[in-house]
Chains A and B, each alone.
Chain A
Amino acid sequence: NAGVTQTPKFQVLKTGQSMTLQCAQDMNHNSMYWYRQDPGMGLRLIYYSASEGTTDKGEVPNGYNVSRLNKREFSLRLESAAPSQTSVYFCASSESHSSGNTIYFGEGSWLTVV
């Protein structure tokens, strides 16, 4: 059981380049999330998808777009990368969007923007 799988694991971008982080879960979860983690800042929610066909902004959505391609897949796109987007990105999923559901994280994607 792979759980939450995200790619790529490492990426270096030049300022202004675009890229898409891919995420897939095999737990038949309804809700999926993208977080970013910066030193001392904990985990901050970028976007989430409560269920297939819906997406909503989190705490720090600026500079990002998402697509819930189907129930399994939730991608994060950086249209024009900036150095401030250098971070570790985690995709996550949960059974539903209701309070109290455990969140399962992918292994993370280390992104550096130079």
Chain B
Amino acid sequence: GQQVMQIPQYQHVQEGEDFTTYCNSSTTLSNIQWYKQRPGGHPVFLIQLVKSGEVKKQKRLTFQFGEAKKNSSLHITATQTTDVGTYFCAGPKAAGNKLTFGGGTRVLVKP
């Protein structure tokens, strides 16, 4: 079945530095969504990418969908303590909206 893998599982970042987290699917995705979960909180939708090669930005966050629509990345510039949390990518199964979530990248920021 479809699997969505995220790497790295953990990311320790010095405040002010950049980092990238990656999401890889075993199958082509019609779209991919990213969610953020703060510690002790619930996942909150960040963005959806639909087109091959699509790039979207939200302030210091840059999201990219691969040309083959099997991978995606989230790049954060000038990391801040507010970026702490777990970032999940999710892709729909072939039919319907049964999203398959990756295992998440847990981001810890060192001040």
Q: Measuring CB to CB, which residues of chain A are less than 8 angstroms from any residue of chain B?
A: 31, 35, 40-45, 48, 50, 58, 90, 94, 96-108
Contacts and interface: CB of A to CB of B under 8 A. Distances in A.
Contacts of B101: 35, 42-44
Contact of B104 (A42, A99, A105): A42
A40 B97 CA distance: 23
B97 A96 contact: yes
Interface in B2-26: 6, 9
A108 B44 CA distance: 12
A103 to B, nearest CB: 6
A53 to B, nearest CB: 16
Contacts, number: 60
Nearest to A44: B101
A40 B31 CA distance: 24
A45 B98 contact: yes
20 contacts: A42-B88, A42-B101, A43-B88, A43-B101, A44-B101, A45-B98, A48-B98, A90-B43, A94-B97, A97-B97, A98-B96, A99-B30, A100-B30, A100-B48, A101-B97, A103-B33, A103-B97, A105-B43, A107-B41, A107-B42
A42 B103 contact: yes
Interface string B33-68: 101000001111100101000000000000000000
- Sorting the interface of chain B by its residue count into under 10, 10 to 19, 20 to 34 or 35 or more gives 20 to 34
Nearest to B32: A100
A42 B30 contact: no
Provide the main secondary structure of the chain A interface. Answer: loop
Interface of B: 6, 9, 30-31, 33, 35, 41-45, 48, 50, 88, 90, 92, 96-99, 101-104
A103 B42 contact: no
Given A43-B101, A99-B97, 6 more contacts: A40-B9, A42-B6, A42-B102, A44-B101, A45-B99, A100-B92
A99 B102 contact: no
Nearest to B29: A99
Which of B9, B43, B45, B92 is most buried by chain A, counting CB atoms within 10 A of its CB?
B43
